[in-house]
Amino acid sequence: MDPISWPGKSDEAHPEVFTKVPPQPDVLKPGQLTKEQVTQFFTEGYLVVENYFDTEKELDPVREDINQLVDDLANRLYKAGKIKDIHKDLGFFDRLIQLEKEFPGANILLHKHGHLPPSFRRLWSNERLLNLVEQLLGSSDIVGHPVWNLRTKTPKCEATTVPWHQDVAYLDKRSYNVLQPTAWIPLLDADEINGCMQVMAGGHRSGKVATHQCCHGGTWYVMLEEDEMQKSLGIDTKKDLRTCPIKYGSFLLINNLIPHRSLNNTSEVTRWSLDLRWQRADRPVAFYDLKNGVRMRSSTNPNMEINWEEFDSVCRHAKSATALNRVTDEFDTTISGLWMKKWEIVHMNRHTESLMKSEDNPISWHSP
């Protein structure tokens, strides 16, 4: 395919969207950042926010709900004859590893789980966290982004090791000029051994989207080569590289344009984390018009209730499969989506092959 015609390619640049600090409040609300922290977020494109959460009240319940998700998955696999043991005696750090050994791709099934347990909802709409997001967006009208992720990073697993990319590479072009802050929240201490994040500091300042490729190795992940980062984004891949170990109770804050990746998990335990995203309500960007965000805060209705049921009723993975005319079942461990249509396919694997089965089917692009 002629690179000029790639749907993901764009010559536009919107540096002001990602580098201009909005007006800041004279008096900070609970959970909001210092002036220096806000400046770093907009200048460097990332910020490590230390000791933010009450781990016992805000994060331990997330662990408990994850344990329930793993238990539900184990029982479904067992009833279907996919595994011989549900490993009930194992816990948060190692049960999924054993399920993965018996049924390769169990971690992918859990990653594709599209429904938000109660603790996930509470964390995403945490009052202090929304105060922080309001500070970055310059608006008290906030929408939770339609794309959130539970990361099921089992040890030494290619499917859970995400290569260099900009988040906008997975979204349609409407996201190229809309700030979408992301909180990457590990549910244990995350370091270079169990697969913490790396970022290219300042890689957002050009306001550009670099050319990505599809897909990395045997995965569904798009990838951004280092020489392309240097050429298109002005990054010095040695000087700008930052490794971000995060303690339990802290989190990494990034924008949707900064290049980042996760390291391989070489430990003996599962590294769990959540990706949670937000955007302004007056500039909401849907997921290819397949799934809308969820309104979390309103300037005109401070007592509004979040409509979680409506949001949770739509699974973006299922909607993507329908859009691609793919037939799947509950134990399908492949992932393919419309983002694959954006970039040149340079590696074929089982995920891209499932996409190619729908290649003759018409896809409606909603990007301008």
Residues paired with residue 151 on neighbouring β-strands, in sequence order: 273
Which range, 99-113, 278-292, 312-326, has the best average confidence (pLDDT)? Answer: 99-113
pLDDT of residue 1: 39
Contact predicate 249/37, CB 8 Å: no
Say what percent of the chain tops pLDDT 70. 95
Residues paired with residue 345 on neighbouring β-strands, in sequence order: 214
Let me know if 235 is exposed, middle or buried by CB neighbors in 10 A (0-12, 13-18, 19+). buried
CATH architecture of the domain with residue range 34-356? Sandwich (2.60)
Rg (alpha carbons) of the chain, rounded to whole number: 20
The dihedral built from the CA positions of residue 107, 171, 191 and 253, taken in this order, carries a sign that is negative
Q: Which residue has the higher pLDDT, 364 or 206?
A: 206
Confidence check: pLDDT of 6 > 90: no
Q: Which amino acid is at 186?
A: P
Number of helices (H), then strands (E), in the chain: 11, 13
pLDDT of residue 175: 93
- Find where tokens 């994060």 sit: 59
In this structure, the dihedral spanned by the alpha carbons of residues 171, 253, 65 and 311, taken in order and rounded to 10 degrees, is -40
Let me know if 196 is exposed, middle or buried by CB neighbors in 10 A (0-12, 13-18, 19+). buried
- Tokens in use for 30? 């609970």
Closest C-alpha to 18, from 35, 43, 38: 43
**Does the N-terminal peptide bond of residue 215 adopt cis geometry, omega within 30 degrees of 0?**
yes
pLDDT of residue 365: 34
Q: Which residues contact 364 (CB under 8 A, 6 or more apart)?
A: none
Average the pLDDT over 221-226 and give the result. 97
Q: Which residue has the higher pLDDT, 142 or 328?
A: 142
Contact predicate 4/104, CB 8 Å: no
Contact predicate 115/312, CB 8 Å: yes
Let me know if 230 is exposed, middle or buried by CB neighbors in 10 A (0-12, 13-18, 19+). middle
Whether the full predicted model's pTM is greater than 0.85, yes or no, is yes
175-195: per-residue pLDDT in tens? 999 999 999 999 999 999 999
Contact predicate 146/286, CB 8 Å: yes
237-249: per-residue pLDDT in tens? 999 999 999 999 9
**DSSP-assigned states of every residue in 81-137:** TS-S---TT--TTTHHHHHHHHSTTHHHHHHT-----HHHHHHHT-HHHHHHHHHHH
Rounded CA-CA distance 244/49 in Å is: 11
pLDDT of residue 364: 36
Q: How many CB atoms lie within 10 A of CB 345?
A: 16
pLDDT of residue 368: 30
